[in-house]
A and B are shown apart, each in its own frame.
Chain A
Amino acid sequence: MLLRIANGTVYDPINGIDGEVRDIWILEGKVVAGPPTDASGQPLAPDKTIDCTGMVVMPGGVDMHAHIAGPKVNLARKMRPEDKRKARVVKRTPITRSGTTGSVPSTFATGYLYAGLGYTTAFDAAIPPLSARHAHEEFHDTPIIDKGFFVLFGNNHYVLKQIQAKEPERLRAFVAWLLSAAKGYAVKLVNPGGVEVWKEGGDNVHGLDEPVEFFGCTPRQIITGLAQAVQDLGLPHPVHIHCNNLGLPGNWVTTLGTMQALEGRRAHLTHIQFHSYAGGSDDQDTFRSRVPEVADYVNSHPNITVDVGQVLFGETTSMTGDGPLGYYLHKVTGRKWTNADTEMEAGCGIVPITYRDKSFVHALQWAIGLEWYLLVQDPWRVAMSTDHPNGGSFLAYPEIVQLLMDRTYRQEVLKRVHPRVLERSVLKDLDREYSLYEIAIITRAAPARMLGLPHKGHLGVGADGDVTVYTPNPDRRAMFELPRYVIKAGRLIVEQGEIRAEEYGRTLCVTPEYDAGALPDIQKWFEAHYTIQFANYPVDESYLSHGATIVPCRVDDRSSRRKMAGES
Chain B
Amino acid sequence: MPLEAECISPDRLRGKTAAEVAAEMVFHGNRQVPLGEFFQIDGQADDGEIVVEGDCSRVKWMGAEMTAGRILIDGHAGMHLGSEMRGGVIEVLGDAGDWVGAEMRGGRIHVRGRAGHLVGAAYRGSRRGMRGGVILIEGAVGNEIGASMRRGLIAVGGDCGDFPGVSFVAGSIFLFGSVGWRPAAEMKRGTLALFGPCPPLLPSFRWACDYRPVFIDLYLRQLRAWGFQPAQQDFPGHFRRYCGDLVSLGKGEILHWTGGSASGRANLP
Contact = CB atoms under 8 A, between A and B. Distances in A.
A80 B123 CA distance: 11
B127 A335 contact: yes
Nearest to B124: A81
The list of the 9 closest CB pairs from A to B, nearest first, reads: A82-B125, A81-B125, A82-B126, A81-B124, A80-B125, A85-B123, A82-B123, A81-B123, A83-B125
Using C-beta atoms within 8 Å of the partner chain, give the interface range for chain A: under 10
Interface of B: 123-127
14 contacts: A79-B125, A80-B125, A81-B123, A81-B124, A81-B125, A82-B123, A82-B124, A82-B125, A82-B126, A82-B127, A83-B125, A85-B123, A85-B125, A335-B127
Contacts of B123: 81-82, 85
B156 to A, nearest CB: 26
Interface in A305-362: 335
A99 to B, nearest CB: 16
Q: B124, B125, B126 — which one has the most chain A CB atoms within 10 A of its CB?
A: B125
Contacts of B124: 81-82
Interface string A71-107: 0000000011111010000000000000000000000
B16 to A, nearest CB: 25
A164 to B, nearest CB: 42
B203 to A, nearest CB: 24
A401 B138 CA distance: 58
Contacts of B126: 82
Contacts of A83: 125
A335 B126 CA distance: 11
A138 B123 CA distance: 27
A297 B126 CA distance: 44
Contacts of A335: 127
Contacts of B127: 82, 335
A79 to B, nearest CB: 7
Nearest to A81: B125
Contacts of A80: 125
A83 B123 CA distance: 11
Nearest to B128: A82
Q: A81, A82, A83, A85 — which one has the most chain B CB atoms within 10 A of its CB?
A: A82
Contacts of A79: 125
Nearest to A83: B125
A82 B125 CA distance: 5
Contacts of B125: 79-83, 85
B6 to A, nearest CB: 14
A80 B126 CA distance: 8
A79 B126 CA distance: 10
Contacts of A85: 123, 125
B225 to A, nearest CB: 35
A350 to B, nearest CB: 13
Interface in A413-439: none
Nearest to A80: B125
A461 B30 CA distance: 49
A335 B127 CA distance: 8
A428 to B, nearest CB: 35
Contacts of A81: 123-125
A343 to B, nearest CB: 28
A89 to B, nearest CB: 13
A558 to B, nearest CB: 49
Interface string A17-57: 00000000000000000000000000000000000000000
A302 B2 CA distance: 64
A336 to B, nearest CB: 8
B103 to A, nearest CB: 10
Given A81-B123, A82-B125, A83-B125, 8 more contacts: A79-B125, A81-B124, A81-B125, A82-B123, A82-B124, A82-B126, A85-B123, A335-B127
B122 to A, nearest CB: 8
Interface in A254-280: none
A81 B123 CA distance: 9
A101 to B, nearest CB: 15
Nearest to A85: B123
B23 to A, nearest CB: 21
B96 to A, nearest CB: 21
A94 to B, nearest CB: 17
A369 to B, nearest CB: 27
Nearest to A84: B125
A83 B125 CA distance: 8
B74 to A, nearest CB: 31
B163 to A, nearest CB: 18
Nearest to B126: A82
B174 to A, nearest CB: 28
Nearest to A82: B125
A30 to B, nearest CB: 43
A566 to B, nearest CB: 60
B80 to A, nearest CB: 12
A295 to B, nearest CB: 38
A521 to B, nearest CB: 46
A92 to B, nearest CB: 11
A565 B103 CA distance: 67
A311 to B, nearest CB: 21
A86 B197 CA distance: 40
B63 to A, nearest CB: 18
A80 B127 CA distance: 11
B211 to A, nearest CB: 32
A85 B84 CA distance: 13
A81 B125 CA distance: 5
B99 to A, nearest CB: 13
A338 to B, nearest CB: 12
A83 B126 CA distance: 8
A335 B125 CA distance: 11
A352 B127 CA distance: 11
B64 to A, nearest CB: 12
Nearest to A79: B125
A83 B127 CA distance: 11
A555 B124 CA distance: 53
A119 to B, nearest CB: 29
Interface string A174-188: 000000000000000
A82 B127 CA distance: 9
